[in-house]
Amino acid sequence: ESVVNKIAAGEVVQRPFNALKELLENSIDAGSTKVSVTVRDGGNTMIRVQDDGCGIHEGDLPLLCERHATSKLETFEDLRTVQTLGFRGEALCSVSYVAHLTVTTMREGDAHATRTVFRDSKIEDGPKPCAGLVGTTVTVEDLFYNMPIRRKALRSPSEELAKVIEVVGRYAVYHDGVGVSLKRHGNARPDVSTSASDTKQQKIRMVFGSQVGSNLLEFKASAVPDECDGEGMSFQAKGYASSANYNSGKRTVLVLFINGRLVECSPLKRCLETVYASVLAKGSRPFFYVELTIPHEQVDVNVHPTKKEVNFLHQDDLIERLREAVENAVFTSND
């Protein structure tokens, strides 16, 4: 059974950034205003996420890594609506099968923090009292220590680090009211650093550079479902477009969050790109940042934590509406 669990866990967590994404979301779900990430070797040997959120009740620790142990489902009905946010109650469980997992946590009013080490979904050591502040620190060490083939398949630290910086930067932009930092172990200077009070534009500038940041055009679009059947297209979107691109304009960049999840949508990217086709010099590529909210039941429920391309209902119509919104923003700004 443990082998099966290990293999399943290795599917959920394939690279350091997959685990990191889950830990970041947990910290944000815990109501944190400050989340500090530290990685060593691009996350291959260590990922640490420290937050100032609500902490974890000591009584919940023994079950923390049991599969489907989640504090986020109140009723069975919820299961349907949260599905698109990822596999509920699987993240910490999966991590505990493929890495050394340590959780230090303290809640408001607790006399001290506690430190607990998990292995294969169970407590291996602790909870032991220790010094700490209100919040939670999750440390993931030696990813795939017990799966030599997977460990060998990990990319180089610099390649993993690039992906980690990308993911942390994008989440930092998305989440309002949370300051996020990313540091390499032993480095004083952070690779990502936003504060809770930054505006979206400030965060985009911090993460994607001043070229992108100083050229931002805001756009919005939305649709309400048809009153008669309620089945029609329904969405809310807002975003920013920039003619300048931070990767020296070599590729179009679309940063897309659907219902809070960082995903990819190639058809949307290709369509938005066309808006700039006549405006930009040949070969230069625009930048887009889009936050999209769609009813959960209209997004492909088959989404796997590691799957990035999404499908959703009314996709073509919705893409066209976003294109129009970007076009309006671009042409209004040129008048």
**Interface with ligand ADP (CB under 6 A):** 22, 26-27, 30, 51, 53-54, 56, 64, 69-72, 88-93, 136
291 touches which of ligand ADP, Mg ion, none (CB within 5 to 8 A by kind)?
none
Ordered alpha helix ranges (H), 104-250:
148-153, 157-174, 200-208, 210-213
CB atoms < 10 A from the CB of 11, how many? 13
Q: Which two tokens stand for residue 274?
A: 């066309």
88 touches which of Mg ion, ligand ADP, none (CB within 5 to 8 A by kind)?
ligand ADP
Binding mask 289-308 for Mg ion (x = CB under 5 A): --------------------
- Kindly indicate which of the ranges 24-32, 108-116, 131-139, 153-161 contains the residues binding Mg ion, using the contact rule CB under 5 A: 24-32
Question: For residue 34, what are the β-bridge partners?
Answer: 179
**Given 16, 18, 26, 38, the residue binding Mg ion (CB under 5 A):** 26
296 touches which of ligand ADP, Mg ion, none (CB within 5 to 8 A by kind)?
none
103 binds Mg ion (CB under 5 A): no
| Contact present, 217 and 334 (Cβ < 8 Å) | no
**Given 19, 20, 91, 93, the residue binding Mg ion (CB under 5 A):** 91
Residue 262 beta carbon to Mg ion: minimum distance, rounded to whole angstroms: 14
Helix 91-98 to helix 16-29 angle (10° resolution) is: 140
At residue 12, the 3 state secondary structure works out as: helix
C-alpha distance from residue 19 to each of 39, 45, 51, 134 (Å): 12, 12, 16, 23
Residue 210 beta carbon to Mg ion: minimum distance, rounded to whole angstroms: 34
Q: Which residues bind Mg ion (CB under 5 A)?
A: 26, 91
